[in-house]
Structure 1
Amino acid sequence: MLYFAELTSPQVAALLAGPRRPVLLLPVGAIEPHGPHAPLGTDPLISAGVCERVAQRLKDHPTLRALVLPPLPYGVTRYAGAFPGAVHVSEETLYAIVTDVCTSLINQGFVDIIVVNNHFEPEHVATLRRATNAVNVGYLDLVRRKNAARLTEEFQTGSCHAGQYETSLVLADRPDLVDQDQMAALAPVTVDMPAAMAAGRTDFVAMGMPDAYCGSPAAATAEEGRRTFDTLTDMVLELMA
């Protein structure tokens, strides 16, 4: 069993008393537009996919057991506000729910928790850093330079919202959610998102993303997505060491 919410209460008690150290994984993302081809839930889908792979790899581990918590799909997402489907919560709301959930679990004895996030709006990332520091839990921080350097070339360019990087990950896990005809017809859009943000552009349209994507979605493949999932899984496992 990989999912915390599928356990019974006695099974949770047995987990805490057992010989294997439990590690709980909290997938986080945001519901927001990802071009005309990829689902609104791309970010939490990727986070959940990473967590599931970590739990699967540790399924038979002699001393560790990982379980996936119910995903937190809502995040700080103002930049996509010009497009239908963006669901924004404030920094205060995100901070409160992450710290409250983690504190509730820590008080029961689950002291090993890792937040796995794949939504990179700066205010969202800053809030997760603040929240995970406050409750002293792990955080997969992919925009840190040492982590970004292990990911794909497109990710490192910063031109990667609903492009080749993210679309490949969705193709690896839920190809049925990608409109592949639309994907194949999309021309590359090059936008240095970090530079645009630094210049004060705080929405996708102002950044030069009229269709809510940048990068090269037409170049996405499930094989690239599987390789990236392997790398992301390795990163989470390293946080457990």
Structure 2
Amino acid sequence: MTLTQHGLGDLTWPDIPDKPMVIVPVGSTEQHGPHLPLDTDTVIATAVTAAVADAVSLRTRERVLVAPAISYGSSGEHQSFAGTASIGFVALRFLVVELVRSLSAWAGRVVLINAHGGNVAALSAAVRQLTAENHDVAWLPCVTEGGDLHAGRMETSLMLHLRPDAVRPERAVAGDMRPLADILPALKAGGVRAVSPSGVLGDPTCATAAEGQRSLERMVEDALRRISQGAVHHDGMLSVDGERATERIPA
């Protein structure tokens, strides 16, 4: 599948089908260590969204549209690194609310697929508000088992699969390897730099493109399961049997 088959931005208004599902990738523009590009989260969210749109279209025989990605997120924890461009909680929440209100004038269900953990609070608040306004909207995470926190093995593997030309493997260095619970107080107080001068939380040095392909496939499978079987949790996230997965979204 290519985005031109489903990309909202490629269409003219008469091309829009009646009440289509619209999926919006949500990423960020922030540091991902010395070896990954600033748009890593957006690249991953867009890839998952494109594959999900293709699969849902095949299953339902209805066209699913991929909206242009939201490429600025809530990334204050990365602000001490050059290149980070964060719009913060309030602006992201407002952006999502206004975007979904606009899409809902002609679309059916709106699903936001998020690849940055810092966006969760804003997405949850926005979707709760939109649901109260009777919009058909939910969000879901790009998650897979065994991932590290930020710019580590999982994200580096994904980028080696999706955009190998943008990865600088010779710069990859292991960062803080501790679980989130252990570093959270320092992270909240001083941001990522307080626990990792390189900006890496994990170990990217063993990443492979093959592992990235497998991770992408698992993310797509998880997203499809949530869309087909899930219910909207109180935080606006599509979940199956009340499961919680937000802690596995890369930071």
Q: Same fold (TM over 0.5)?
A: yes
Q: Distance in 2 between matches of 1:96 and 1:75?
A: 12
Note the alpha carbon deviations across 1:10-37, whole angstroms, 9 max, x for none: 111xx117xxxx2211111111110100
* Deviation (angstroms), 1:223: 1.1
Q: Aligned residues: percent identity?
A: 30
Q: Which amino acid aligns with 2:49?
A: C
Q: Distance in 2 between matches of 1:134 and 1:37?
A: 38
| Partner residue of 1:225 out of 212, 231, 237 | 212
- Cross-structure match for 1:167: 156
Q: Distance in 2 between matches of 1:55 and 1:226?
A: 18
* Deviation (angstroms), 1:235: 2.1
SS at match of 2:29: coil
- Cross-structure match for 1:152: 145
- Cross-structure match for 1:85: 83
* Deviation (angstroms), 1:2: 1.5
Question: What is the 5 A alignment of 1:16-165?
Answer: 16=18, 22-108=20-106, 110-121=107-118, 124-136=119-131, 137-141=137-141, 151-153=144-146, 155=147, 159-165=148-154
Unaligned runs of 5+ in 1: 143-147
Q: Does 1:191 align with 2:173?
A: no
* Deviation (angstroms), 1:180: 1.9
Q: Distance in 1 between matches of 2:99 and 2:13?
A: 17
Q: Which amino acid aligns with 1:112?
A: R
Unaligned runs of 5+ in 2: 132-136, 229-251
SS at match of 1:85: coil
SS at match of 2:24: strand
* Deviation (angstroms), 1:132: 1.7
Q: 1:107 to 1:42 in 2, by over 3 A?
A: same
Q: Does 1:178 align with 2:182?
A: no
* Deviation (angstroms), 1:160: 2.1
Instruction: Indicate the larger mover: 47-56 or 33-42.
Output: 47-56
Q: 1:133 to 1:141 in 2, by over 3 A?
A: farther
Note the alpha carbon deviations across 1:119-168, whole angstroms, 9 max, x for none: 112xx3111111122223121135xxxxx6xx232x2xxx4210001111
* Deviation (angstroms), 1:62: 4.3
* Deviation (angstroms), 1:217: 0.4
Q: Could you state the TM-score of these two structures normalised by the residue count of structure 1?
A: 0.84
Q: 1:196 to 1:170 in 2, by over 3 A?
A: same
Note the alpha carbon deviations across 1:44-92, whole angstroms, 9 max, x for none: 1100010111123244444333221000010111111111001011212
Note the alpha carbon deviations across 1:80-131, whole angstroms, 9 max, x for none: 11110010112121011111111111122x131110111112xx31111111
Q: Distance in 1 between matches of 2:190 and 2:23?
A: 30
Q: Distance in 1 between matches of 2:84 and 2:207?
A: 23
Q: Does 1:6 align with 2:10?
A: yes
Moved over 4 A (4+): none
Q: Distance in 2 between matches of 1:97 and 1:176?
A: 31
- Cross-structure match for 2:134: none
